[in-house]
Amino acid sequence: MITDLRPLARKAKQKNYAIPAFNVSNLEMVQAVIRAAVAEKSPVIVQTSEGALSYAGDTTLYQIIKTTAETLGRSVPVVIHLDHGKHLKTVRRCLALGYTSVHMDASALSYQRNIALTQQAVIAAKKTKSSVQGELGAIFGQEGLLQLKKGFDYTAMMTDSTQAKNFVNKTGIDTLAISVGTIHGSFKGIERIDLARIRQIAKEVNLPLVLHGGSGNDPKVLQQAIKEGICIINIDTDLRLALLAGLRRALGNKMLARHIDPRAIFNASYAPMQAKAQAIMKLFGSSHQA
């Protein structure tokens, strides 16, 4: 069932687990994620980037998620979320479509401009009673503000706890995405999550904290990040890799490769994606929290 993020995030904060937020861009990904949530009895955030909306069409992709949530996912809480809304126009469009949560990401702009745009997103979201995620600090990697460069001190671009408190007070957001060393994409061995920084931000900010770039991190470190105050973790690359692995296996199967019906190939991608999503729900502690 489609629901409001805020009570789910508050519960996650109180009970010390994290809600997984999966990026999707087609029917197969949506169904795999929601089937996983049903199997694990877990709340789930199904989210779309601006790129995914451009690829599939904003109305089409929203309707796929909505219909799947209301049918396959009617027994679990499903949040429909815009991830990394860089443009206020996109945020407003998603709110008009029916998104229950939006991310206004103006983190690449000046601090004052970030506040101003996020405030406008909050005002727009009040009309539809949707929640707003703000972002403070640079999140690196393939979709982040900065590209990976050797020798650069990224700690200077991470979220400052005192500034985060001020940002939350000025904007009125519901959740806060923070930069603590994760990278968009899967960069095993490179990412170093600053657990002490999470702990300090959690002391200053009485809001559910969001960790972007969850793919490719040490599972034990992610669990520790949850203990320190992370309530939502974004997953994109891990799901994509599971999808590709399923498709490659299907295409390598001589029986399947002879099919002229593409559904036979696409069906093979369900199992690995659903299995990966379920494993993540168990890792984050969201299983049986629906």
Whether the CB-CB separation of 211 and 180 falls below 8 Å is answered with yes
**Angstrom distance (rounded) from CA 236 to CA 226:** 18
Which is catalytic among the residues 58, 83, 105, 160? 83
Per-residue tokens: 23: 């990026």
**Angstrom distance (rounded) from CA 191 to CA 164:** 22
Does the CA dihedral 223-225-45-241 come out positive or negative? negative
What would the DSSP string read from start to end of 176-201? EEE-SS-EES--TTT----HHHHHHH
Q: Which amino acid is at 245?
A: A
Per-residue tokens: 125: 């979201």
**Angstrom distance (rounded) from CA 230 to CA 225:** 6
**236 annotated active-site:** no
Q: Which residues contact 260 (CB under 8 A, 6 or more apart)?
A: none
Residue spans of alpha helices (H) in the chain: 5-15, 27-40, 50-56, 58-71, 88-97, 111-126, 161-171, 195-204, 219-228, 237-252, 254-257, 262-267, 270-284
Per-residue tokens: 3: 């629901």
| Cα radius of gyration rounded to whole Å, the chain | 18
Which sequence positions are flagged as catalytic? 83
